[in-house]
Amino acid sequence: MALRLDKYLTELGAGTRSEVKKQIKAGLVTVNGAVAKKPEQKVDETGDEVCLRGERLRYTAFEYYLFHKPAGCVSATQDNMHRTVMDYLSDTARGDLFPVGRLDLDTEGLLLITNDGALAHALLSPSRHVAKTYYARVQGVVDETDVNFFKNGVDIGEEKPARPADLVILGCKEDVSEITLTITEGKFHQVRRMMASRGMTVAYLERRQEGALTLGNLPRGCVRELNAREIRELEESAGLAE
Protein backbone atom coordinates (compact mmCIF):
# COMPACT_ATOMS: atom_id res chain seq x y z
CA MET A 1 0.00 0.00 0.00
CA ALA A 2 1.35 3.44 -0.94
CA LEU A 3 1.32 6.31 1.53
CA ARG A 4 2.00 10.00 1.15
CA LEU A 5 5.54 10.69 2.27
CA ASP A 6 4.47 13.26 4.87
CA LYS A 7 1.91 10.83 6.33
CA TYR A 8 4.53 8.06 6.39
CA LEU A 9 6.97 10.26 8.29
CA THR A 10 4.30 11.52 10.69
CA GLU A 11 3.13 8.00 11.55
CA LEU A 12 6.71 7.02 12.35
CA GLY A 13 7.08 9.92 14.77
CA ALA A 14 9.34 12.13 12.67
CA GLY A 15 7.23 15.14 13.64
CA THR A 16 3.93 16.82 12.97
CA ARG A 17 2.67 17.10 9.40
CA SER A 18 3.99 20.69 9.16
CA GLU A 19 7.34 19.69 10.70
CA VAL A 20 7.95 16.84 8.27
CA LYS A 21 7.03 19.08 5.34
CA LYS A 22 9.80 21.45 6.46
CA GLN A 23 12.21 18.50 6.68
CA ILE A 24 11.33 17.44 3.16
CA LYS A 25 11.72 21.00 1.88
CA ALA A 26 15.14 21.17 3.58
CA GLY A 27 16.30 18.09 1.66
CA LEU A 28 16.65 15.95 4.80
CA VAL A 29 14.54 13.07 3.44
CA THR A 30 15.56 10.58 0.76
CA VAL A 31 13.54 7.84 -0.92
CA ASN A 32 15.59 5.04 -2.43
CA GLY A 33 18.66 7.28 -2.36
CA ALA A 34 17.05 10.26 -4.09
CA VAL A 35 16.27 13.47 -2.24
CA ALA A 36 12.50 13.80 -1.83
CA LYS A 37 11.05 17.03 -3.12
CA LYS A 38 7.31 16.83 -2.42
CA PRO A 39 5.37 15.80 0.73
CA GLU A 40 2.67 14.21 -1.43
CA GLN A 41 5.17 11.82 -3.02
CA LYS A 42 3.95 8.25 -2.69
CA VAL A 43 6.08 5.65 -0.95
CA ASP A 44 5.69 1.90 -0.48
CA GLU A 45 6.08 1.42 3.26
CA THR A 46 7.37 -2.13 2.84
CA GLY A 47 9.47 -1.78 -0.32
CA ASP A 48 10.93 1.72 -0.43
CA GLU A 49 13.96 2.81 1.57
CA VAL A 50 13.15 6.07 3.32
CA CYS A 51 15.88 7.90 5.23
CA LEU A 52 15.73 10.97 7.45
CA ARG A 53 19.04 12.76 8.01
CA GLY A 54 20.78 9.69 6.63
CA GLU A 55 19.10 7.21 8.98
CA ARG A 56 16.77 4.62 7.50
CA LEU A 57 13.26 4.52 8.91
CA ARG A 58 11.71 1.11 9.55
CA TYR A 59 7.98 0.89 9.00
CA THR A 60 5.76 -1.58 10.83
CA ALA A 61 2.02 -1.59 10.36
CA PHE A 62 1.23 -1.97 14.07
CA GLU A 63 3.04 -1.22 17.31
CA TYR A 64 2.14 -2.32 20.83
CA TYR A 65 3.25 -0.80 24.13
CA LEU A 66 2.58 -1.59 27.78
CA PHE A 67 2.28 1.53 29.92
CA HIS A 68 2.18 1.66 33.72
CA LYS A 69 -0.18 4.60 34.12
CA PRO A 70 0.39 6.77 37.19
CA ALA A 71 -2.30 8.76 39.01
CA GLY A 72 -2.92 12.22 37.62
CA CYS A 73 -2.52 11.09 34.03
CA VAL A 74 -5.52 10.93 31.69
CA SER A 75 -6.18 8.07 29.28
CA ALA A 76 -6.29 10.28 26.19
CA THR A 77 -4.07 11.53 23.40
CA GLN A 78 -4.69 15.21 24.20
CA ASP A 79 -5.83 17.15 27.26
CA ASN A 80 -5.59 20.81 28.24
CA MET A 81 -5.38 20.24 32.00
CA HIS A 82 -3.45 17.03 32.70
CA ARG A 83 -0.61 14.98 31.29
CA THR A 84 -1.84 12.31 28.93
CA VAL A 85 -0.57 8.78 28.47
CA MET A 86 1.01 9.90 25.20
CA ASP A 87 3.18 12.41 27.05
CA TYR A 88 5.06 9.48 28.58
CA LEU A 89 6.11 8.07 25.21
CA SER A 90 9.26 9.34 23.56
CA ASP A 91 9.14 12.34 21.26
CA THR A 92 9.74 10.01 18.33
CA ALA A 93 6.62 7.89 18.92
CA ARG A 94 4.47 7.52 15.82
CA GLY A 95 1.46 9.76 15.55
CA ASP A 96 -1.30 7.17 15.19
CA LEU A 97 -0.95 5.49 18.60
CA PHE A 98 -3.79 5.61 21.13
CA PRO A 99 -4.65 4.10 24.53
CA VAL A 100 -6.98 1.10 24.49
CA GLY A 101 -9.85 1.97 26.80
CA ARG A 102 -9.37 4.22 29.78
CA LEU A 103 -8.40 4.28 33.41
CA ASP A 104 -9.76 7.00 35.68
CA LEU A 105 -7.53 9.95 36.54
CA ASP A 106 -6.66 8.50 39.96
CA THR A 107 -6.47 4.86 38.85
CA GLU A 108 -3.04 3.42 38.12
CA GLY A 109 -1.77 0.37 36.32
CA LEU A 110 -1.79 -1.46 33.02
CA LEU A 111 -2.77 0.37 29.87
CA LEU A 112 -2.18 -0.89 26.34
CA ILE A 113 -1.12 1.68 23.75
CA THR A 114 -1.27 0.68 20.09
CA ASN A 115 -2.47 1.66 16.63
CA ASP A 116 -4.11 -1.74 16.02
CA GLY A 117 -7.77 -0.81 15.81
CA ALA A 118 -9.03 -4.37 15.36
CA LEU A 119 -7.32 -5.57 18.53
CA ALA A 120 -8.48 -2.53 20.49
CA HIS A 121 -12.08 -3.08 19.38
CA ALA A 122 -11.95 -6.77 20.33
CA LEU A 123 -10.46 -6.09 23.76
CA LEU A 124 -13.14 -3.49 24.52
CA SER A 125 -16.08 -5.38 23.03
CA PRO A 126 -18.60 -6.40 25.74
CA SER A 127 -19.31 -9.63 23.85
CA ARG A 128 -15.68 -10.82 24.14
CA HIS A 129 -15.67 -10.81 27.98
CA VAL A 130 -11.93 -10.15 28.18
CA ALA A 131 -10.87 -10.49 31.81
CA LYS A 132 -9.30 -7.54 33.64
CA THR A 133 -7.79 -7.90 37.11
CA TYR A 134 -7.52 -5.00 39.54
CA TYR A 135 -5.77 -4.62 42.88
CA ALA A 136 -7.58 -2.38 45.36
CA ARG A 137 -7.34 -1.05 48.89
CA VAL A 138 -10.85 -0.68 50.24
CA GLN A 139 -12.24 1.15 53.26
CA GLY A 140 -14.20 -1.62 54.96
CA VAL A 141 -13.94 -5.27 55.91
CA VAL A 142 -14.33 -7.55 52.89
CA ASP A 143 -15.32 -11.11 53.78
CA GLU A 144 -16.51 -14.33 52.15
CA THR A 145 -20.05 -12.97 51.99
CA ASP A 146 -18.80 -10.37 49.52
CA VAL A 147 -16.87 -13.01 47.58
CA ASN A 148 -19.99 -15.10 47.12
CA PHE A 149 -22.12 -12.03 46.40
CA PHE A 150 -19.90 -11.00 43.50
CA LYS A 151 -20.02 -14.49 42.01
CA ASN A 152 -23.67 -13.93 41.15
CA GLY A 153 -23.33 -10.53 39.49
CA VAL A 154 -23.89 -7.13 41.08
CA ASP A 155 -26.57 -4.47 40.69
CA ILE A 156 -24.70 -1.20 40.10
CA GLY A 157 -27.71 0.85 39.12
CA GLU A 158 -27.94 -0.02 35.44
CA GLU A 159 -30.57 -1.87 33.44
CA LYS A 160 -28.50 -5.04 33.61
CA PRO A 161 -26.38 -6.08 36.60
CA ALA A 162 -22.62 -6.32 36.26
CA ARG A 163 -21.46 -9.78 35.25
CA PRO A 164 -20.16 -12.24 37.86
CA ALA A 165 -16.72 -11.27 39.14
CA ASP A 166 -13.93 -13.06 40.98
CA LEU A 167 -13.11 -11.34 44.28
CA VAL A 168 -9.99 -12.48 46.19
CA ILE A 169 -9.25 -11.21 49.71
CA LEU A 170 -5.54 -10.55 50.23
CA GLY A 171 -5.79 -9.26 53.79
CA CYS A 172 -7.45 -6.82 56.16
CA LYS A 173 -5.97 -4.47 58.75
CA GLU A 174 -7.72 -1.76 60.75
CA ASP A 175 -10.83 -1.83 58.57
CA VAL A 176 -8.82 -1.51 55.35
CA SER A 177 -9.04 -4.52 53.05
CA GLU A 178 -6.70 -5.46 50.24
CA ILE A 179 -8.31 -7.36 47.39
CA THR A 180 -8.04 -8.30 43.75
CA LEU A 181 -11.13 -8.20 41.58
CA THR A 182 -11.38 -9.77 38.13
CA ILE A 183 -14.17 -8.50 35.89
CA THR A 184 -15.08 -9.21 32.28
CA GLU A 185 -16.61 -5.86 31.39
CA GLY A 186 -15.53 -2.24 31.32
CA LYS A 187 -18.43 -0.24 32.70
CA PHE A 188 -17.87 3.31 33.90
CA HIS A 189 -16.21 3.29 37.37
CA GLN A 190 -17.18 -0.38 37.55
CA VAL A 191 -14.90 -1.55 40.37
CA ARG A 192 -15.71 1.46 42.52
CA ARG A 193 -19.44 1.03 41.91
CA MET A 194 -19.32 -2.69 42.68
CA MET A 195 -17.60 -2.05 46.00
CA ALA A 196 -20.00 0.80 46.74
CA SER A 197 -22.88 -1.68 46.35
CA ARG A 198 -21.41 -3.39 49.44
CA GLY A 199 -21.08 -0.11 51.34
CA MET A 200 -17.32 0.23 50.78
CA THR A 201 -15.11 2.91 49.26
CA VAL A 202 -12.09 2.22 47.06
CA ALA A 203 -9.10 4.19 48.35
CA TYR A 204 -6.58 2.95 45.76
CA LEU A 205 -7.05 1.12 42.47
CA GLU A 206 -4.54 -0.42 40.09
CA ARG A 207 -5.13 -2.59 37.02
CA ARG A 208 -2.66 -5.46 36.96
CA GLN A 209 -3.83 -7.63 34.08
CA GLU A 210 -5.87 -7.48 30.88
CA GLY A 211 -6.37 -10.73 29.05
CA ALA A 212 -2.98 -12.44 28.99
CA LEU A 213 -1.06 -9.18 29.41
CA THR A 214 0.27 -8.49 32.91
CA LEU A 215 1.80 -5.37 34.43
CA GLY A 216 4.69 -7.34 35.93
CA ASN A 217 7.46 -5.23 37.46
CA LEU A 218 7.23 -2.33 35.00
CA PRO A 219 7.82 0.83 37.08
CA ARG A 220 5.07 3.41 37.40
CA GLY A 221 5.19 5.94 34.57
CA CYS A 222 7.28 3.70 32.31
CA VAL A 223 6.54 2.25 28.87
CA ARG A 224 7.90 -0.81 27.11
CA GLU A 225 7.22 -2.46 23.78
CA LEU A 226 5.41 -5.82 23.74
CA ASN A 227 7.24 -8.84 22.41
CA ALA A 228 5.84 -11.21 19.78
CA ARG A 229 4.66 -13.75 22.36
CA GLU A 230 2.76 -11.12 24.34
CA ILE A 231 1.09 -9.80 21.20
CA ARG A 232 0.03 -13.31 20.17
CA GLU A 233 -1.32 -14.11 23.62
CA LEU A 234 -3.20 -10.82 23.75
CA GLU A 235 -4.79 -11.59 20.37
CA GLU A 236 -5.79 -15.01 21.73
CA SER A 237 -7.37 -13.33 24.77
CA ALA A 238 -9.40 -11.13 22.43
CA GLY A 239 -10.43 -14.05 20.25
CA LEU A 240 -8.44 -12.88 17.22
CA ALA A 241 -5.89 -15.68 16.97
CA GLU A 242 -6.13 -17.77 13.82
pLDDT, tens digit (0-9, with 9 covering 90-100), for 32-44: 999 999 999 999 8
Judged against a pLDDT cut of 70, whether residue 116 lies above it is answered with: yes
Q: Quick check: 205 pLDDT over 60?
A: yes
pLDDT at 102 over 80: yes
Q: Considering only 8-12, 64-68, 87-91, 126-130, which range has the smallest mean pLDDT?
A: 87-91
Query: Which band of pLDDT confidence, cut at 50, 70 and 90, is reported for residue 242?
Result: low
Question: Which segment of 86-100, 134-148, 208-222 scores lowest on mean pLDDT?
Answer: 86-100
The catalytic position among 104, 116, 146, 155 is 104
In the predicted model, what is the mean pLDDT of residues 101-114?
96
pLDDT band at 59 (very low <50, low <70, confident <90, very high): confident
Q: Is the pLDDT of residue 91 over 70?
A: no
Q: Give the model's confidence band at 94: pLDDT under 50 very low, under 70 low, under 90 confident, else very high.
A: confident
146 noted as active-site residue: no
Q: What is the pTM of this model?
A: 0.83
- The rounded percent of the chain whose pLDDT value lies above 90 is 81
pLDDT given at position 129? 93
CB 75 within 8 A of CB 101: yes
